[in-house]
Chains A and B, each alone.
Chain A
Amino acid sequence: MLGQGSLDAYFWIGTAVMLFVIFTSLFVFVFYYYRLNKVKSDFSDELLRVSLEKEQQERRRIASGLHDSTSGTLAAAKNYVEILYNKEQDEDNKKMFELVEKALSEIMKDIQSTSAHLMPPMLETLGFMAVVKDYIGKVQELHPDIKFQEDYKLQELPMATASAYELYRVMQELINNIIKHSEASQVKISLYKQSKSFVLEVIDDGKAYDFNKEAKISQGMGLKNITSRLRKIKASLKQIPNRQGNKIQIHFKSN
């Protein structure tokens, strides 16, 4: 039989060891878990950065291919058709050439628009604001049933082109979603400075939705892409409760 003193010692040492083991395990577990999570998150951020960069490169390649090569070839084809038109005596054939020329002009216009959509050429030369205004103007032409209002408190965004490009894509995705799903009749796009950061605000009077909830359950890539692009430029999205429709704010800092 153990004496009271030995039992006491076993009890206190045993309890101390158990406490030490459990608290140390807990500490090590929490510490390594967060560390591993950070590594995983850094890795996925890097993957995201690379994939967005690749996407941008590919867009640029296709856009310049369409603009420089395909448009060039079509312009040459149009010239040949014009020459043939001038040489042609037969009126029926002349009409055919006219139609071909018209079709070629339409194709060139479409290519120009697709190329600009893929990679806005003005972003590097004229800046973010010019691209946004141009885009909203085109969207307004295509959707006269929706009234687009613009309210820009800034002349230009002090932002690197790469970040401005991501912001532009986010805005484009938000507008596309409104057109496709919200059945809105009015959309307001604002850009202003709020203390040390900038805010791009898109308000619509269409069907209300919960951005975060939809981004989680949605099968499409639109909302997920918005989240990814915002993470890339370290911007945040806030959905402000609105009496009718949706109010989305993108908060970002200049870089």
Chain B
Amino acid sequence: MKVAFFYTTLFIGLCPLLILLYKRKATLFSHPFVPFIILTAVATVYEYVGSIVLKINTAYWSQVYSLLEVLALYYFFYQLFKTTHKKTLWSFLILMLAAYLVTLINYTIVERWFYKSINTVPITVFVLYFSFMWVKNLFQKMEVEHLHKHPDFYFVSGIAIYYASTFFLFFLMGNLIADKPKLFNEYWWINIIATFIMRSFLIIGTCWVKEV
């Protein structure tokens, strides 16, 4: 049962991209969330082929993913807020890239969770801050009639849920498993469930993506 859920969570990461491809409209790919959708699909393929089939250590991928994740999410929120929150966006980008550079320069596989926790803080704050701004903006304008048909609602909710629920996991993981490495899988289920929720939101959101 747990294995089935794990593989379901893993492979539904391909669905948002497949839905976009199925719609066969090139203009749909101009949606600001598309880079994150592509990243999710690439991560799915890599995690299956690289980590499960070829048994390559996930540490390297995790570090590369952190950078791509920052760029994809930054692009998404930049497209949404570039006219109103330019300074805040730039400040967050500098902060996230600075954190990333620090972890990249000092990176060692043994201390990977310590560096992961450093990357986690600015990106979680970034996602939650701009998710809040998105909601605030929505209430101020009140232009969206049907929230449940609005793709950005699913994208923002999905990533906000994911980053909020995995914050303590990534922030404390190094210390949590320091004494009891066998407990890693137990804690990791938080990430699998959060990923499942996020990917489900992304799938629904992608279904509602329309031509601009």
Q: Which residues of A contact B (CB under 8 A)?
A: 2, 4, 7-8, 10-11, 14-15, 18-19, 21-23, 25-26, 29-30, 32-34, 36-37, 40
Q: Range of interface residues on chain B? A: 20 to 34
Give the distance in Å from the alpha carbon of A19 to the alpha carbon of B163 in the complex.
Answer: 10
Selected from B138, B161, B175, the residue in CB contact (under 8 A) with A2 is B175
Q: Which residue of B lies closest to A28 (CB)?
A: B135
Give the distance in Å from the alpha carbon of A34 to the alpha carbon of B139 in the complex.
Answer: 10
Q: A23-B161, A26-B157 are in contact. Are A18 and B142 (CB under 8 A)?
A: no
Give the distance in Å from the alpha carbon of A34 to the alpha carbon of B142 in the complex.
Answer: 10
A-B contact pairs, 15 of them (CB 8 A): A4-B179, A4-B180, A7-B172, A7-B175, A7-B176, A11-B176, A14-B168, A15-B168, A18-B167, A22-B164, A25-B135, A26-B161, A32-B139, A33-B139, A40-B142
| B169, CB-defined interface residue at 8 Å | yes
Assess the B147–A14 pair: CB atoms within 8 A. no
Assess the A19–B157 pair: CB atoms within 8 A. no
Q: B187 contacts which chain A residues (CB < 8 A)? A: 11
Give the distance in Å from the alpha carbon of A15 to the alpha carbon of B188 in the complex.
Answer: 13
| B160, CB-defined interface residue at 8 Å | yes
Selected from B142, B145, B169, the residue in CB contact (under 8 A) with A15 is B169
Assess the A22–B161 pair: CB atoms within 8 A. yes
Give the distance in Å from the alpha carbon of A37 to the alpha carbon of B139 in the complex.
Answer: 9
4 smallest A-B Cβ distances: which pairs? A14-B168, A22-B164, A18-B164, A15-B168
Q: What is the CB-to-nearest-CB distance from B155 to chain A, in angstroms, rounded to a whole number?
A: 13
| B44, CB-defined interface residue at 8 Å | no
Give the distance in Å from the alpha carbon of A18 to the alpha carbon of B139 in the complex.
Answer: 23
Q: A7-B172, A11-B169, A11-B187 are in contact. Are A33 and B164 (CB under 8 A)?
A: no
* B134-147 near A? 1/0 per residue, CB < 8 Å: 01001100100101
Q: Which residue of B lies closest to A30 (CB)?
A: B147
| B209, CB-defined interface residue at 8 Å | no
| B66, CB-defined interface residue at 8 Å | no
Give the distance in Å from the alpha carbon of A30 to the alpha carbon of B135 in the complex.
Answer: 10
| B97, CB-defined interface residue at 8 Å | no
| B117, CB-defined interface residue at 8 Å | no
Give the distance in Å from the alpha carbon of A29 to the alpha carbon of B176 in the complex.
Answer: 34
Tell me the chain B residues, 153-187 only, with Cβ under 8 Å from chain A. 157, 160-161, 164-165, 167-169, 172, 175-176, 179-180, 187
Assess the A37–B167 pair: CB atoms within 8 A. no
Give the distance in Å from the alpha carbon of A191 to the alpha carbon of B157 in the complex.
Answer: 48
| B15, CB-defined interface residue at 8 Å | no
Give the distance in Å from the alpha carbon of A14 to the alpha carbon of B168 in the complex.
Answer: 6
Q: B169 contacts which chain A residues (CB < 8 A)? A: 11, 15
Q: A22 contacts which chain B residues (CB < 8 A)? A: 160-161, 164-165
| B190, CB-defined interface residue at 8 Å | yes
Give the distance in Å from the alpha carbon of A10 to the alpha carbon of B187 in the complex.
Answer: 13
Assess the B165–A18 pair: CB atoms within 8 A. yes
Assess the B142–A37 pair: CB atoms within 8 A. yes
Give the distance in Å from the alpha carbon of A14 to the alpha carbon of B167 in the complex.
Answer: 9
Give the distance in Å from the alpha carbon of A216 to the alpha carbon of B60 in the complex.
Answer: 51
Assess the B165–A10 pair: CB atoms within 8 A. no
Q: B167 contacts which chain A residues (CB < 8 A)? A: 14-15, 18
Selected from B157, B172, B180, the residue in CB contact (under 8 A) with A10 is B172
Q: A19 contacts which chain B residues (CB < 8 A)? A: 164-165
Q: Which residue of B lies closest to A18 (CB)?
A: B164
- Beyond A11-B172, A15-B169, 8 additional pairs, beta carbon < 8 A: A4-B179, A10-B168, A15-B168, A18-B167, A18-B168, A22-B161, A22-B165, A32-B139
Q: B168 contacts which chain A residues (CB < 8 A)? A: 10-11, 14-15, 18
Give the distance in Å from the alpha carbon of A8 to the alpha carbon of B176 in the complex.
Answer: 7
Assess the B147–A34 pair: CB atoms within 8 A. yes
Q: Which residue of A lies closest to B194 (CB)?
A: A19
Q: What is the CB-to-nearest-CB distance from A240 to chain B, in angstroms, rounded to a whole number?
A: 23
Give the distance in Å from the alpha carbon of A22 to the alpha carbon of B135 in the complex.
Answer: 13
Q: Which residue of B lies closest to A10 (CB)?
A: B172
Assess the A29–B135 pair: CB atoms within 8 A. yes
Give the distance in Å from the alpha carbon of A26 to the alpha carbon of B148 in the complex.
Answer: 12
Q: Which residue of B lies closest to A2 (CB)?
A: B175
* B110-140 near A? 1/0 per residue, CB < 8 Å: 0000000000000000000000000100110
Q: What is the CB-to-nearest-CB distance from A231 to chain B, in angstroms, rounded to a whole number?
A: 13
Q: Which residue of B lies closest to A21 (CB)?
A: B164
